[in-house]
Structure 1
Amino acid sequence: MSRWRPRGPLGLGGAPLGNLFAPIAEEVAEAAIEAAWDGGIRLYDTAPLYGLGLSEHRMGRVLRRKVRDEFTLCTKVGRLLEADPAAPYEQHGFFGGLPFRVRYDYSAEATLRSIEHSLARLGLARLDMVLIHDAAEDPHGPAWPERFAEAMAGAAPALTRLREQGVIRAWGLGVNNVEPCLLALEHADPDLFLIAGRYTLLDHGALERLIPACAARGASLVIGGPYNSGLLAGGNTFNYAPAPAELLARRDRLAEFCTRQGVPLKAAALQFCAAPKVVAAVIPGGRTPAEVEENARLMAHPIPPGFWGALREAGLIPPGAPVPGG
Structure 2
Amino acid sequence: MTTNSQTTPTQHTWAQQNLPDIGLGGVAIGNEFEYVSDEAAHKTLEAAWNAGVRYYDVSPWYGLGLAERRYGQFLHNQNRDDYYISSKVGKLLRASKHSKGAEYYPHAHSPNDVIFDYTADGVRRSIEDSLQRLGIDSIDVVFVHDLSPDNKLLPTDWLEQFAIAEKGAFPELTKMRDEGIIKGWGLGVNCPEPILKAIDVADPDVFLLASQYSLIDHENALKNVFPKVRERNIALVMGSNLNAGFLSGSDRYNYDQKKPIEQKNLDKRDKLQAIAKQFDVDLRTASLQFALFPDVAVSVIPGARTPEQVTENVESLKVSIPDGFWQALKEQQLIDADAPTRRM
TM-score, length of structure 1 as denominator length: 0.96
- Does structure 1 retain, via aligned residues, the 8 Å contact 2:102–2:110? no
Instruction: For 1:226, give the aligned amino acid.
Output: N
How far 1:325 sits from its partner (Å)? 4.3
- Does structure 2 retain, via aligned residues, the 8 Å contact 1:214–1:278? yes
Tell me which residue corresponds to 1:26.
38
**For 1:213-269, what per-residue CA distance to the aligned partner results, in whole angstroms no more than 9, with x for missing partners?**
111111011111011122201123223332101111011101101100110111110
Tell me which residue corresponds to 1:152.
166
- Does structure 1 retain, via aligned residues, the 8 Å contact 2:72–2:136? yes
**For 1:195-230, what per-residue CA distance to the aligned partner results, in whole angstroms no more than 9, with x for missing partners?**
211000011131111111111111011111011122
Tell me which residue corresponds to 1:315.
333
**For 1:3-41, what per-residue CA distance to the aligned partner results, in whole angstroms no more than 9, with x for missing partners?**
111522111000111111222110100111111111111
- Does structure 2 retain, via aligned residues, the 8 Å contact 1:84–1:99? yes
1:166-181 mapped onto 2 (5 Å cutoff): 166-181=180-195
Match of 1:225 among 228, 232, 240: 240
2:207 aligned with 1:193, yes or no? yes
**For 1:134-179, what per-residue CA distance to the aligned partner results, in whole angstroms no more than 9, with x for missing partners?**
0115279962111111111111111000000000000000000011
- Does structure 2 retain, via aligned residues, the 8 Å contact 1:19–1:97? no
- Does structure 1 retain, via aligned residues, the 8 Å contact 2:64–2:108? no
What RMSD in Å do the two structures reach over aligned CA positions?
1.6
2:324 aligned with 1:306, yes or no? yes
TM-score, length of structure 2 as denominator length: 0.91
1:266-277 mapped onto 2 (5 Å cutoff): 266-277=284-295
1:24-173 mapped onto 2 (5 Å cutoff): 24-88=36-100, 90-138=102-150, 143-173=157-187
SS at match of 1:74: strand
SS at match of 1:201: coil
Shifted more, 286-295 versus 161-170: the winner is: 286-295
**Closer, same or farther: CA 64–139 of 1 in aligned 2, 3 Å:** closer
Q: Which runs of 5+ in 2 are unaligned?
A: 1-10
- Does structure 1 retain, via aligned residues, the 8 Å contact 2:13–2:234? yes
**Closer, same or farther: CA 195–166 of 1 in aligned 2, 3 Å:** same
Tell me which residue corresponds to 2:299.
281
Shifted more, 309-318 versus 280-289: the winner is: 309-318
SS at match of 1:179: helix
Q: Which runs of 5+ in 1 are unaligned?
A: none
CA distance in 2, matches of 1:294, 1:85: 40
CA distance in 2, matches of 1:325, 1:46: 26
Instruction: For 1:42, give the aligned amino acid.
Output: R
SS at match of 1:173: strand
**For 1:116-150, what per-residue CA distance to the aligned partner results, in whole angstroms no more than 9, with x for missing partners?**
00000000000100010001152799621111111
**For 1:77-117, what per-residue CA distance to the aligned partner results, in whole angstroms no more than 9, with x for missing partners?**
00001121443552324523432110111000011001000
Instruction: For 2:134, give the aligned amino acid.
Output: L
SS at match of 1:207: helix
SS at match of 2:221: coil
SS at match of 2:236: strand
**Closer, same or farther: CA 94–214 of 1 in aligned 2, 3 Å:** farther
SS at match of 1:270: helix
How far 1:2 sits from its partner (Å)? 2.9
- Does structure 1 retain, via aligned residues, the 8 Å contact 2:101–2:112? no
CA distance in 2, matches of 1:276, 1:163: 26
Aligned structure 1 segments of 4 or more residues deviating by more than 3 angstroms: 85-89, 139-142
CA distance in 2, matches of 1:270, 1:147: 32
CA distance in 2, matches of 1:295, 1:2: 27
Shifted more, 234-243 versus 10-19: the winner is: 234-243
- Does structure 2 retain, via aligned residues, the 8 Å contact 1:137–1:175? no
CA distance in 2, matches of 1:167, 1:191: 15
SS at match of 2:168: helix
**For 1:258-317, what per-residue CA distance to the aligned partner results, in whole angstroms no more than 9, with x for missing partners?**
100110111110000010111010111101111111111222222123322232122111
Instruction: For 2:12, give the aligned amino acid.
Output: S
2:249 aligned with 1:234, yes or no? yes
Instruction: For 1:96, give the aligned amino acid.
Output: A
**Closer, same or farther: CA 11–137 of 1 in aligned 2, 3 Å:** farther
Tell me which residue corresponds to 1:215.
230
Instruction: For 1:265, give the aligned amino acid.
Output: L
